[in-house]
């Protein structure tokens, strides 16, 4: 097998898929899709052919012209890749697969009341989960076009990351080869078909749809906001994202034409595991981005930026993920700077800088994942998801901008996007293009250190804005019991509070590290330094206890300060989850159980991994946390089915590491 991607069975010697025509019958009571997929290849193929699948039942593989069956085999599942579907073609340019999904599909979440107001299902296919919705060459190295017929209950409606063609009654010839359970019919009364087409080529992970009782609001000439049909949610979303068209126009000025026609937004139920997913034409969003002050639009700015960097130009494999996310983080901040000003962009950079440092520390025992270009052979990409490709990638591009100047870098970016649009590339391709278009850059910046070196390069850059420095300075004074005054926080929005909280000390870790160091030095020169000034009968162990008790006092003092901070500013009750979760994480780290009720409500109320990962980790990481571990396991057992399968796997990985 000539692999093109460590996460896929795709063979580079085989023909590539050009188009897939899908017929999908959504059986909501059984959490199953019964389907057929007609594949059209770029060139006729003879010989073995491989497709990725996960948790799919394959009913048949058929030659569509002769209707003759093609023998196939399905391998035992690999824990990361899923199962290899293989069969042999004889000068075939097309074939048709009949199959059914499983209720355990890793891309699909099926929701029933009270998880949502009405039955609801949505997909999340990044990074390697499209294979659990339909068989495919599931690698970002290959781009496909597709069409889809979604057969759903008539009281529901469907949206898709594709152009909507029509809503109509089912026809018998829509899905001749869809195998339905006894008693079910494609054309049954009470069913409707929603038809979509994606005419531009996209990587499989950008395949996306959602089905539910949906309403919508117009917010601009190219943008409509969708959500479950509740007026309050729709109205607040429309208000939060009212400035979307301004961001699209700024993006076009910076990066060239918007190639996708529509930029619609779907606000999903709280279980959605990400802040946003950049599905073309139809961005998926968590409801936690609706904050009431329009700052949630910065997540929209990030997903919009993906329209150029990620969707238009795509990383070839997940080992080059920074090409998607580093470029998009840079582009997002340029859009935010243009629309909301330099200070707001600087706060974003500051929050990102802190996140980068934390994730580099997180991977201190596996520095491979602090590289931009890294080796992910045998690695589940969901388990190494972090801020490194986002923030280190941003820092790399920002470093290049500082070196050559913004006007020159802007011209470079436009040329880069125009050259590689609708292509998938790797790090080497980018570096070759960079060196060809900015001659001598390799002599001014250590490109190899930035892309293949571990950690944070010495020429990375912490922001220097006045607002950023003021907030960090206030956070540094917290250990001395210095609370920010009301006049100092007047006008602070969620980002200011998030930056402040992210820069507070992690008291337990700091105190424990000192304790461990002192204990390991008891019989060495550390305590011997005290010998000349102590009575002969004085116990060195007693001295150690006195010193450590002072640090315990600091820890307890921080504990009190955390409670005092919350009593003044009600951070644990914030409607901005970035603020709430950052505060709760610090409270847990101080050993403060006062907020366990709020932690429980948060972990049961949202499924966004940005919140689940730090809270569960804070509860279970480190020694002496038996109560936290018991608490975390109970919460997860009760909330697990409300999380998307991807989020379930992430929490289980945290437990496997720390329990």
Distances (CA, A) of 464 to 343, 367, 399: 10, 28, 14
User: What contacts 592, CB < 8 A, 6 or more positions away?
Assistant: 559, 562, 563
Catalytic-residue membership of 390: yes
Q: Among 390, 428, 415, 406, which residue's Cα sits nearest to residue 306?
A: 390
Q: For the chain, what is the radius of gyration of the CA atoms?
A: 27
CA angle at 120 for the pair 265 and 51, rounded to the nearest 5°: 85
Helix (H) or strand (E) holding 553: helix 540-569
Q: Distance (Å, rounded) from C-alpha 601 to C-alpha 477?
A: 30
User: What contacts 380, CB < 8 A, 6 or more positions away?
Assistant: 79, 80, 649
Residue with token string 């700077």: 337
Task: Using the CB atoms, write b or e for 629-658: b if 16+ within 10 Å.
Answer: bebbeebbeebeebbbbbbbbbbeebeeee
126 labeled part of a ligand binding site: yes
435 labeled part of a ligand binding site: no
282 labeled part of a ligand binding site: no
198 labeled part of a ligand binding site: no
302 labeled part of a ligand binding site: yes
124 labeled part of a ligand binding site: yes
641 labeled part of a ligand binding site: no
Q: Distance (Å, rounded) from C-alpha 195 to C-alpha 163?
A: 9
The SS3 call for residue 511 is helix
| Beta carbons of 182 and 201 less than 8 angstroms apart | no
The SS3 call for residue 13 is coil
Give start and end residues of each alpha helix (H) in 457-539: 466-476, 486-489, 494-502, 507-520, 525-528
276 labeled part of a ligand binding site: yes
Residue with token string 């949906």: 214
Catalytic residue among 194, 195, 250, 303: 303
Residues in the chain, how many?
659
User: What contacts 601, CB < 8 A, 6 or more positions away?
Assistant: none
Distances (CA, A) of 150 to 72, 112, 164, 435: 26, 19, 11, 47
183 labeled part of a ligand binding site: no
Structure tokens at 549: 């008790």
Q: Distance (Å, rounded) from C-alpha 386 to C-alpha 118?
A: 33
Distances (CA, A) of 536 to 65, 522, 541, 546, 596: 98, 16, 13, 17, 48
DSSP state of 106: S
125 labeled part of a ligand binding site: yes
Q: How many CB atoms lie within 10 A of CB 103?
A: 11
Structure tokens at 541: 């162990």
177 labeled part of a ligand binding site: no
| Beta carbons of 540 and 527 less than 8 angstroms apart | yes
Q: Distance (Å, rounded) from C-alpha 231 to C-alpha 234?
A: 5
Catalytic residue among 146, 205, 226, 390: 390
DSSP-derived secondary structure for 411-441: HHHHHHHHHHTTEEE-HHHHHHHHHHHSTTH
170 labeled part of a ligand binding site: no
| Beta carbons of 378 and 368 less than 8 angstroms apart | no
Q: Distance (Å, rounded) from C-alpha 72 to C-alpha 87?
A: 5
Catalytic-residue membership of 368: no
592 labeled part of a ligand binding site: no
| Beta carbons of 381 and 318 less than 8 angstroms apart | yes
Distances (CA, A) of 80 to 2, 6, 143, 503, 556: 18, 10, 21, 36, 44
- Looking at the annotation, which residues are catalytic? 303, 390
Binding residues for Zn(2+): 302, 306, 325
Binding residues for a peptide: 124-126, 273-278, 608-610
Binding residues: 124-126, 273-278, 302, 306, 325, 608-610
């Amino acid at each position: 097998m000539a692999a093109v991607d460590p996460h896929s069975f795709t063979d580079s010697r085989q023909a590539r898929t050009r188009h897939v025509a899908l017929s999908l019958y959504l059986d909501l009571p059984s959490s199953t899709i019964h389907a057929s997929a007609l594949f059209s290849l770029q060139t006729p193929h003879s010989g073995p052919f491989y497709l990725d699948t996960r948790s799919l039942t394959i009913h048949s593989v058929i030659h569509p012209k002769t209707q003759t069956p093609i023998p196939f085999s399905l391998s035992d599942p690999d824990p990361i890749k899923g199962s290899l579907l293989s069969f042999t073609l004889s000068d075939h340019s097309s074939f048709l697969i009949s199959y059914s999904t499983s209720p355990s599909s890793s891309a699909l979440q099926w929701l029933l009341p009270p998880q949502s107001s009405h039955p609801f299902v949505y997909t999340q296919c990044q990074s390697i989960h499209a294979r659990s919705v339909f068989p495919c060459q599931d690698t970002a190295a290959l781009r496909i076009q597709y069409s889809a017929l979604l057969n759903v209950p008539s009281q529901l409606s469907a949206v898709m990351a594709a152009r909507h063609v029509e809503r109509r009654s089912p026809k018998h010839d829509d899905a001749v080869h869809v195998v339905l359970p006894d008693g079910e019919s494609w054309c049954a009364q009470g069913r409707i078909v929603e038809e979509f087409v994606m005419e531009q080529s996209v990587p499989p992970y950008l395949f996306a749809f959602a089905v539910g009782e949906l309403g919508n609001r117009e917010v601009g000439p190219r943008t409509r906001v969708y959500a479950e049909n509740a007026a309050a949610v729709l109205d607040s979303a429309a208000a939060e994202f009212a400035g979307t068209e301004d961001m699209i126009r700024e993006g076009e000025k910076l990066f060239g034409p918007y190639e996708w026609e529509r930029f619609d937004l779907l606000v999903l139920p709280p279980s959605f595991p990400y802040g946003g997913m950049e599905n073309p034409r139809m961005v998926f969003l968590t409801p936690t981005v609706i904050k009431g002050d329009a700052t949630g639009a910065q997540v929209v700015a990030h997903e919009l930026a993906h329209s150029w960097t990620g969707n238009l130009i795509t990383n070839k494999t997940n080992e080059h993920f920074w090409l998607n996310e580093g470029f998009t983080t840079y582009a997002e901040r340029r859009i935010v700077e243009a629309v909301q000003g330099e200070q707001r962009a600087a706060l974003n950079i500051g929050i990102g800088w802190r996140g980068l440092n934390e994730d580099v520390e997180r991977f201190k025992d596996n520095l491979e994942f602090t590289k931009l270009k890294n080796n992910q052979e045998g690695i589940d990409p969901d388990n190494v998801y972090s801020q490194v490709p986002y923030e280190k990638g941003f820092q790399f591009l920002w470093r290049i901008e500082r070196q050559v100047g913004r006007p020159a870098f802007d011209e470079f970016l436009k040329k880069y996007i125009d050259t590689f649009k609708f292509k998938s590339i790797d790090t080497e391709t980018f570096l070759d293009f960079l060196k060809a278009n900015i001659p001598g850059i390799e002599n001014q910046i250590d490109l190899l250190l930035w892309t293949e070196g571990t950690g944070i390069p010495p020429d990375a850059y912490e922001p220097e804005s006045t607002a950023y420095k003021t907030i960090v300075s206030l956070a540094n004074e917290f250990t001395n019991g210095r609370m920010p005054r009301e006049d100092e926080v007047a006008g602070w929005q969620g980002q200011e509070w998030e930056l402040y909280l992210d820069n507070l000390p992690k008291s337990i870790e700091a105190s424990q590290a000192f304790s461990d160091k002192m204990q390991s030095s008891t019989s060495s020169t550390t305590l011997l330094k005290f010998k000349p000034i102590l009575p002969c009968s004085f116990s060195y162990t007693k001295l150690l206890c006195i010193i450590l008790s002072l640090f315990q006092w600091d820890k307890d003092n921080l504990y009190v300060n955390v409670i005092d901070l919350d009593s003044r500013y009600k951070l644990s009750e914030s409607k901005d989850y970035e603020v709430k979760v950052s505060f709760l994480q610090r409270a847990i780290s101080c050993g403060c159980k006062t907020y366990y009720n709020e932690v429980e409500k948060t972990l049961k109320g949202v499924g966004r991994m940005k919140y689940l990962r730090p809270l569960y980790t804070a509860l279970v990481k480190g020694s002496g946390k038996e109560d936290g571990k018991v608490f975390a396991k109970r919460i997860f057992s009760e909330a697990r089915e409300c999380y998307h399968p991807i989020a379930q796997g992430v929490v289980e990985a945290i437990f496997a590491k720390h329990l």
